Amino acid sequence: MINRRAVIATALSLFAVTVCVTPWGAAAAAAAGTATSSVAVQAAATEAASGDDEVVVVQRNAVGAVTKVTRYEPAGSAEKLRAELRARGVTGIVPAGEMGPNKIQACAPFVGTAAAWCSHAWAYNQFNDPQVYFLDHTPAGYPVTDAVADWYQSPGIDSYYRWHTQGCPGNGRHCVHVYAVNSPLSWYGQTSWAANAPQGPAKVELNTRLLGNATQRRKTTCHELGHALGLDHNSSTNSCLKSGTVGAGWSVRPSGDDFQVLNQLYPKPGT
């Protein structure tokens, strides 16, 4: 039987080049149809120069310890989304360009344009690879099965699809619930994960209001599941981990660099 991880890891090692990436990845383009004025175009250019392509909210308990981190993929301007969240009374919003005490900035391993999400990696428990089950709550037309199948190809960690009514299998296996929600705010998707907690919990939400485009829906689903596995943004258009409104030639799937980061993030020989 062919060991898919061994084959993938061998192939990726031929071209994997480790480099440092800038905090927060590359900037998001303005949402389709919204950046029509020169002001909007200038704002998008400013965010591109600063690398401001995501919004992060940090929740703390009564004694100030971080309990959860939520990463939003903005639909357009990241600063606009921050303003929307503030208007709704959301606290713990990390200012633009700041890493913050929760260390959101991309962390090693770095491979090409890909990196890991700092302090967010799943525990092995009794398995040779961490076992992550994505429990699907989304309606027809949401490509959770396809995205999970893509991430299953990565060495280092096992991704499995499961309809939510089947429940979480437990016994050392991790579960990430994936929901489709209708939010009035300017975000495509979000991933929440307990801070520095290798057992989770983690949750993905996809915004149905802004994901009418099948290509954007496919890219965002892949993007958020990648975060849920422990990946940071990828500035390359060859990866679904690139943040923002999908453009011509953008990939809706993981890149080889993404797979290699996961292989190094979870280095124990797999099954």
The tens digit of pLDDT for each residue in 30-63 reads 333 433 333 333 444 444 444 578 899 999 999 9
Cβ atoms 271, 3 nearer than 8 A: no
What CATH number does domain 4-13+21-265 carry, 3.30.70, 3.40.1000, 3.40.50, 3.40.390?
Answer: 3.40.390
pLDDT greater than 70 at residue 9: no
Q: Which residue has the higher pLDDT, 1 or 245?
A: 245
Pairing of β 114-117 and β 174-181:
unpaired
Cβ atoms 206, 238 nearer than 8 A: no
pLDDT greater than 60 at residue 11: no
What CA–CA distance (Å, rounded) separates 216 from 10? 31
| Mean of pLDDT over the chain | 83
* Opening angle at CA 44, ends 41 and 49, nearest 5: 125
Domain extents in the chain:
4-13+21-265
Residue 27: pLDDT band by 50, 70, 90 thresholds?
very low
Which of 102-111, 207-216, 223-232 has the least mean pLDDT?
A: 102-111
pLDDT in tens, 143-165: 999 999 999 999 999 999 999 99
> Residue 56: what pLDDT?
94
**Range list of H helices, the chain:** 4-13, 38-50, 78-87, 144-152, 214-229, 256-265
